[in-house]
């Protein structure tokens, strides 16, 4: 892979990041893992700070119970909280602030038909992740895959070790939100540039996780 290809990959990833940030403007939809602050004006006993949306999509409100949050806009959740709190407070005024947005995107890039970001809420295996991106362009040529984890650890694997279930020598890797899968282009690798490529891929993963 030459420097021009790597530079193009970086630009593509920057585009994804900008696109992701733009999508969060306006009516943002709350996701599992997001961290919220809920303020009930003049009633601190019903206000919550740093509450996390649980994997089941609910927040646990002390004294009230579970309130669905995932999949709702902040406005819709505000109305839901007000309805729950008004059993104890007359005409409650509720404000909801999103303190932290949980990145729910898996990145699949490189020699695939539809490279991009794909929303996941649980682990998916490598072949499922590749399917999300439309599969490898030419399965006979796409042989090497690099996986960069959300914690910046990186591993390189051979696709043929996983494709045939009868001869599979390893268990399929499981990918999670924040991970990046890169299918190398079918070209002769210039090993003198491999270190540079690895460094750039680590930088790409960092960029794509800015919103975490």
Where residue 8 sits, what CATH number does that domain have?
A: 3.10.560.10
Below-70 pLDDT ranges, the chain: 1-26, 163-170, 187-212
Domain contains 50: yes
Is residue 156 domain-shared with residue 109, that is, in the same domain?
yes
Contact in structure between 129 and 106 (CB atoms under 8 Å): yes
pLDDT of residue 170: 66
The string of DSSP letters for 78-136 reads HHHHHHHHTTTSSS--EEEEEEEPPP-EEEEEESBSS-EEEE-SS-EEHHHHHHHTT-B
Out of 82, 100, 118, a domain closes at 100
Is residue 20 domain-shared with residue 120, that is, in the same domain?
yes
Residue range of the domain that includes 40? 35-100
Is residue 134 domain-shared with residue 74, that is, in the same domain?
no
pLDDT digits (tens, 9 = 90+) for 179-203: 899 998 876 555 455 556 566 666 6
Is residue 42 domain-shared with residue 9, that is, in the same domain?
no
CA dist 210 and 4 (Å) reads: 24
Domain contains 51: yes
Out of 83, 100, 117, a domain closes at 100
Residue corresponding to tokens 């996941």? 120
Is residue 13 domain-shared with residue 51, that is, in the same domain?
no
pLDDT of residue 182: 93
pLDDT of residue 20: 43
pLDDT of residue 200: 65
pLDDT of residue 18: 40
Is residue 197 domain-shared with residue 133, that is, in the same domain?
yes
Is residue 93 domain-shared with residue 116, that is, in the same domain?
no
Domain contains 15: yes
Is residue 139 domain-shared with residue 68, that is, in the same domain?
no
Is residue 131 domain-shared with residue 44, that is, in the same domain?
no
Domain contains 119: yes
Is residue 139 domain-shared with residue 163, that is, in the same domain?
yes
pLDDT of residue 21: 38
**Token duo for residue 40:** 């009930």
CATH code of the domain covering residue 78: 3.30.1950.10
Q: How many domains does the chain have?
A: 2
Is residue 81 domain-shared with residue 124, that is, in the same domain?
no
- pTM across the whole model: 0.49
Is residue 150 domain-shared with residue 200, that is, in the same domain?
yes
**Token duo for residue 51:** 């509450």
Domain contains 29: no
Domain contains 30: no
Domain contains 56: yes
pLDDT of residue 166: 62
């Amino acid at each position: 892979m030459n420097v021009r290809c790597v530079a193009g990959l970086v630009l593509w990833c920057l585009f994804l990041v900008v696109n992701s940030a733009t999508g969060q403007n306006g009516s943002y939809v709350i996701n599992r893992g997001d961290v919220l602050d809920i303020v009930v004006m003049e009633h601190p006993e019903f206000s919550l700070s740093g509450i996390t949306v649980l994997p089941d999509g609910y927040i646990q409100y002390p004294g009230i119970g579970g309130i669905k949050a995932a999949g709702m806009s902040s406005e819709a959740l505000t109305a839901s909280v007000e309805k729950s709190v008004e059993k104890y407070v007359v005409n409650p005024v509720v404000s909801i602030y999103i303190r932290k947005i949980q990145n729910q995107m898996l990145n699949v890039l490189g020699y695939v038909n539809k490279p991009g970001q794909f929303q996941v809420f649980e682990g998916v295996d490598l072949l499922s992740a590749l399917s999300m991106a439309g599969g490898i362009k030419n399965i006979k040529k796409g042989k090497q895959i690099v996986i960069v984890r959300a914690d910046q650890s990186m591993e390189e694997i051979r696709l043929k070790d996983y494709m045939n279930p009868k001869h599979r020598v390893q268990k399929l890797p499981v990918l999670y939100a924040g991970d990046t899968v890169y299918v190398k282009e079918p070209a002769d690798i210039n090993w003198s540039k491999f270190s540079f490529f690895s460094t750039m891929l680590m930088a790409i993963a960092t960029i794509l996780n800015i919103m975490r």
